[in-house]
Structure 1
Amino acid sequence: MSRSTLLLLLAGSGLCALVACDHRDAQAPAPAPAATATADARYPDRVYWGDEHVHTAWSADAAMAGATLDPEAAVRFARGEQVTSNTGQPAKLHRAYDWVAITDHSDGMGAINEMQAGNTDMMADPQIKRWVGMMNAGGATGKAAQREVVNAQATKSLPKILMDPRWMVSAWQKTVDIMEKYNQPGKFTAFIAYEWTSNGEKGENLHRNVIFRDGADKTRATPPLTTFQSTVPGRAGTDPESLWKWLGDWETKTGGQVLAIPHNGNMSNGWMFRAARYDGTPMTREWAEARARWEPLYEVYQIKGTGEANPKLSPNDEFADFNIWDTADLNGNPKQPGDIDTEYWRQALRDGMKHQATLGTNPFKYGAAGGTDTHTGLPSGGEENNFWGKFAVNEPKAGRWNQVFRKEVTGPRLDWTMAAAGITGVWATSNTRAAIWDAMKRKETYASSGPRITIRFFGGYGLPAKVRAADIAATGYARGVPMGGDLKPAPAGKAPVFVFAAMKDPDGANLDRLQIVKGWVDGQGVTHEKIINVKWGGNRKLDAAGKLPSVGNTVDLNTATYTNNIGATELVGSFTDPDFDPKLRAFYYVRVLEIPTPRWTLYDSVKYKVKMDAAVPMVQQERAVTSPIWYNPA
């Protein structure tokens, strides 16, 4: 089936009423972002795609690994323009983003660039002078200097001159000016943002992306918080409570609005979602309320592994083993028994309901987001055949799959384990900072490993069991709540109806299936989960245990191609939980899987005529997950 024929069919089905369908010829180059109305619609009628996690050469670790692209190049790339990569290659997205957030690390922002340029104040420090000499020598000596600087940053042992706030202030103000230059309401949204890069005692990842709703008038004069500062008396600056206080103080001072997005709990060695405050003391209601207020979303997909679920925590989920990184923390320290129990989003959603019973507030009530965490300035999230890697040294070349990405205590982690992910879909009323940020705050978002699958998901007691794609938005908003919402206690004898509609990426693969993931807390305070197949392509039938046969596989390993002659172009329907108990807390979210498609490693293998080890995955099933809808009995 041709792409044009497919779009005509989708329009006829009503699914093009859910989004602004893209009718460009598949072979045409991606144009600059198209203009859209800036006035807010009555309700969100379009999904806007973007990356909330992008680093450039103004991040210390990116610069030390060879990045040269600055925030302006990154924004131009996100808008669909061609730029020259850090390794001198032409780089361009197949499809432009609608929005982007440049999130360079606040710690040492811009300082490495000054060091590399031979800043006279810095060169007075013997350690810095030694590093610059090693870098100028190049080769193995230069790489040794890079490792030393990155390790010093992780252990907070960098020379004090590198942490001088004047370097960060200058870089921050330049970043703000760039984002203002490229922010075009109705055409493209450029968020002012940074990453607060906190590690635990040994290197446990506790990082947060800080995203501002406002422009330069409220952000330019206030430099980002670093982990070398503390806003909580007597507490280390690496404790996220310090960030939350800073966010509150900033809002009070400026009248602006800001949120934070945690990520990579899979590299926190159990710290991200543990049942305690980060200083080890018991959680309190006030602590839970602060976390829930400032952190509405969690990054589910990115280059350093999937954060949705882990097969060890979800043994009955046949699709949980997807780009899993679960061996060590950020500094390579191996995991201890029990660490993974408090590192993954789905388990945190379960635990959050349990904590709510004792605290009165759910501290882990996270919606879904996706980003790349690229350190190249080239956010190519999800474009498997256009993957620019994590660092400049990972940019396209024949042997990158077998490079040592990082050293862990348990052994080397190779480049092929990187995931070409992810991206965030936001249901917003217009392409503006305010509208997209507001949608993030209310969690009307979903995370994709890359494909731009369109998903609608609503729950309510007055929703019809039969639904048409063309009517789902109007009906869902009028008679229910969207993804990210809360259901009121059920009326007597009523169970909520969940309605959904999923449309394939117009430029991508057909859909395998749509699942509802349910989590709940029983009367004894024990959490559970269940994955329910509710809609799928083809004539397959569920077995007695609810398992669905495989959709098949059309990938040609010799050419890195596939055919859309299996699966479905759209999946529309409703679901009523036969086991719904109005007395028990629960959440429900949608997961949509594509049919098997080539992974970036297969594209590399064919392009460079490289034979890779048998352990390297060549095919995968990309997917997207929505923010949950929560049910609370009281």
Structure 2
Amino acid sequence: MGMRRLLCLGLLLAVSACGRSDETADSGSNPPPASSKCRHYAEQRQPFYGDLHVHTKYSLDANTQGTIIGPHEAYRFAQGEELGIQPYTPEGQPLRTTQLSRPLDFAAVTDHAELFGETEICTNPELEGYNSLECRFYRAAPAQAFIVFNFLGPGLIGLPTPTGGETIPRLPFCGLGGTRCVEAAKTPWRDIQQAAEAYYDRSAECRFTTFVGYEWTGAPLSNNLHRNVIFSSEVVPEIPASYIETPEPELLWESLAQTCLSEQGCGVLTIPHNSNLSGGLMFRTRDRHGADFSEEYAQARQLNEPLAEIYQHKGQSECLGTTGAGLADEQCGFELLPYRNFIGSQVSPAASGVPLEGDFLRAALKEGLRQEQLLGTNPFKYGFIGSSDTHLGTPGRVNEAGYPGHGGAGGSARNELPAGLTDRIENSPGGLAVLWAEENTRDSLFAAMRRREAYATSGTRPVVRFFGGWNLPAGLCSSRNFAADGYRGGVPMGGDLPAPPGSGVKPRFAVSALRDPGVAGEKAEPLQHIQIVKGWIANGEKHEAVYEIAGNKDNGASVNTDTCETSGAGYASLCSVWEDPDFDPAQSAFYYARVLENPSCRWSTRQCVAAGVSCADPDAVPEEFADCCNADYPKTVQERAWTSPIWYRAAQ
């Protein structure tokens, strides 16, 4: 299917999924009339917290690490039910339990689609192939089988992407043409759909929303190109299009355009994650044939990918903070992995190489502005969400305290309780996706994703709003109708500023943040300050700047890392209306807000303190806790939120 055909089908899909005109979907400035069945409908929208990146036993990496939690248990956990997690006794009893202190509003199980069938065959004795050499090896040596199945099978990690778009061969036990594994894949895919339907609250209470989804898992030569595929409804393709069948993002979009038809009620979007580990591939500016982007490609990418995951278990993908003109940003050191692809975690950081500036979303947003000047369309027009990437079936388990690890790229607890830290020192608990929507339903939440009215958090739950416009009142923070006035006078996060109403006018941006109130037994820190990050193009060159607009980054807040007690003042709320002092109407730009809390102990420090580790005598520190004294990693963390950007496009 050609790119033009893909774009046309995608446009139909987007309009159907959002249920409104393109203009309204893009701006988000006109909330729809109240016609909902939800009891807690809010015309000016409300924040819903969720996790759109969750793995269960159906993902081969989770399965080989001992995860036996399925989608049904994962959705119950997301709603507050206690869950037993690995390791397990020979009788199948869990040796650990975990529970959310606050339930989520929505979630999606996104298991790796590529090896659905292989995992099902090797774990189901009733299926042909269960006693194959490969499956016997899978059960006898799961850690080694993970490597074999990924490197020598479909090559999800070990091989470059095929040229010409041909499919990737499977292991021999899958049968001629891989048909046995393709057929077996239908069973987990069916269960994923059934779980999503079973736990979607369709009552007037609208307590919990599920989305059918999966992960498209391409990592040629260990360079991450992964996308989570999220469907708008229960109408989904018969079988997911994986990296095996569609070994390039363009091929994935083409397949979805053919199998997820809007006239049948199917809507879909893809959410890239971990660009920080993509080795220069996620935001490359050439298509799969090696040609420069065309306008059709840019339109298709913008349409299919309105969001990106800026933070999760495997680090942040916001910025690298390379030293240089306009690039120094101390906050870019937050949860920054020290390597550029999966070789860094599977082999060594040195074998991988250092991270690349162009693999981070801030750099991609700037490149998107440049591409827009060349093509007329911005291919990298991303809003932001966070998620966990848990491989334990524990959506939303993202707080630092009591962190059990997430498996996957982190440490495995298949056979025994972790002797030291529960995860690799460079990893973290991950974050949350927050969507501004009228109600907690699939239609409303999916529409929020489409228009990018979303923000990411590093795991806490502050409430953040961000508006931009030419006529926002300077006193908007004092208004009792902050949201209504913001929508009326501008556009929310994810939107586009219209053309300036006249010469000499500068855009104003209003940011409001309320601290996470926390819950009993789980303290949350007050807010510290708010920044606005701007990127722009001037004379063909890319620039960025960070502006302090509210609060005080030097407020004296501190952490006693021997006890994890925090001290110092902060803010229960912050609000500011900021006018860009450096605005030039001839320069396209983007703006997003970053809200930071007072510092607190990192997950690793909490575990080191609980274990009584003292780095005063390094020789006395047990080997399993050696990373407690690793000076390359901070002992504290500043939890934060990132809003989706607001864009300004200069007249051409």
The answer, yes or no, to whether TM exceeds 0.5 is: yes
How far apart in 2 are the matches of 1:421 and 1:118? 36
| DSSP-derived class of the 1:459 partner | strand
How far apart in 1 are the matches of 2:316 and 2:169? 30
| DSSP-derived class of the 1:149 partner | helix
User: Closer, same or farther in 2 for the Cα pair 1:286/1:351, shift >3 Å?
Assistant: same
1:318 and 2:330 are equivalent in the alignment: yes
CA distances 1:364-407 after superposition (whole Å, capped 9, x unpaired): 00000111111111124431113232218546956343x8x7xx
For 1:288, give the aligned amino acid.
A
How far apart in 2 are the matches of 1:345 and 1:416? 23
How far apart in 2 are the matches of 1:400 and 1:289? 48
Please give the residue correspondences for 1:178-577 in structure 2 after superposition, counting only pairs within 5 Å. 178-185=195-202, 186-200=206-220, 202-215=221-234, 218-219=235-236, 222-229=238-245, 237-252=246-261, 254-312=264-322, 315-332=327-344, 340-391=356-407, 393-394=411-412, 399-401=419-421, 415-467=424-476, 468=478, 470-492=480-502, 493-507=504-518, 508-522=524-538, 524-537=539-552, 550-563=554-567, 565-577=568-580
Unaligned 5+ segments in structure 1 are 1-35, 136-141, 230-236, 406-414, 538-547
What's the offset of the Cα at 1:129? 2.8
For 2:335, give the aligned amino acid.
N
How far apart in 2 are the matches of 1:551 and 1:66? 45
How far apart in 1 are the matches of 2:600 and 2:495? 32
- 1:175 maps to 192
- 2:647 maps to 630
How far apart in 1 are the matches of 2:39 and 2:240? 29
What's the offset of the Cα at 1:282? 1.2
Number of equivalent positions: 557
User: Closer, same or farther in 2 for the Cα pair 1:335/1:315, shift >3 Å?
Assistant: farther
How far apart in 1 are the matches of 2:116 and 2:630? 40
What is the TM-score when the length of structure 1 is the normalising length?
0.83
How far apart in 1 are the matches of 2:601 and 2:328? 25
Q: Return 48-57 or 553-562, whichever deviates more.
A: 553-562
For 1:595, give the aligned amino acid.
N
- 1:591 maps to 594
1:106 and 2:113 are equivalent in the alignment: yes
| DSSP-derived class of the 2:183 partner | helix
How far apart in 2 are the matches of 1:633 and 1:296? 21
CA distances 1:208-231 after superposition (whole Å, capped 9, x unpaired): 10111112xx12x621102221xx
- Give aligned-pair identity as a percent: 35
For 2:83, give the aligned amino acid.
V
How far apart in 2 are the matches of 1:557 and 1:211? 40
What's the offset of the Cα at 1:606? 2.6
For 2:499, give the aligned amino acid.
P
Tell me if the contact between 1:596 and 1:619 (Cα under 8 Å) persists in the aligned partners.
Answer: yes
| DSSP-derived class of the 1:73 partner | helix
User: Closer, same or farther in 2 for the Cα pair 1:398/1:109, shift >3 Å?
Assistant: closer
Please give the residue correspondences for 1:91-130 in structure 2 after superposition, counting only pairs within 5 Å. 91-109=98-116, 111-130=118-137
- 2:42 maps to 41
Tell me if the contact between 1:270 and 1:339 (Cα under 8 Å) persists in the aligned partners.
Answer: no
How far apart in 2 are the matches of 1:117 and 1:93? 31
User: Closer, same or farther in 2 for the Cα pair 1:358/1:180, shift >3 Å?
Assistant: same
| DSSP-derived class of the 2:440 partner | coil
What's the offset of the Cα at 1:256? 1.6
Unaligned 5+ segments in structure 2 are 1-36, 88-93, 159-167, 519-523, 615-627
User: Closer, same or farther in 2 for the Cα pair 1:49/1:61, shift >3 Å?
Assistant: same
What's the offset of the Cα at 1:497? 1.2
| DSSP-derived class of the 1:470 partner | coil
For 1:514, give the aligned amino acid.
I
What's the offset of the Cα at 1:422? 0.8
| DSSP-derived class of the 1:384 partner | coil
- 1:602 maps to 605
How far apart in 1 are the matches of 2:590 and 2:243? 34
How far apart in 2 are the matches of 1:38 and 1:438? 19
For 1:494, give the aligned amino acid.
V
How far apart in 2 are the matches of 1:259 and 1:371? 16
| DSSP-derived class of the 1:591 partner | strand
What's the offset of the Cα at 1:328? 3.2
User: Closer, same or farther in 2 for the Cα pair 1:182/1:367, shift >3 Å?
Assistant: same
Q: Return 112-121 or 464-473, whichever deviates more.
A: 112-121
Tell me if the contact between 1:101 and 1:191 (Cα under 8 Å) persists in the aligned partners.
Answer: yes
Tell me if the contact between 1:371 and 1:381 (Cα under 8 Å) persists in the aligned partners.
Answer: no
CA distances 1:260-309 after superposition (whole Å, capped 9, x unpaired): 10011111100000121133221100001000000000100001110001
Please give the residue correspondences for 1:36-115 in structure 2 after superposition, counting only pairs within 5 Å. 37-38=38-39, 40-44=41-45, 46-87=46-87, 88=94, 89-109=96-116, 111-115=118-122
Tell me if the contact between 1:585 and 1:631 (Cα under 8 Å) persists in the aligned partners.
Answer: yes
User: Closer, same or farther in 2 for the Cα pair 1:238/1:513, shift >3 Å?
Assistant: same
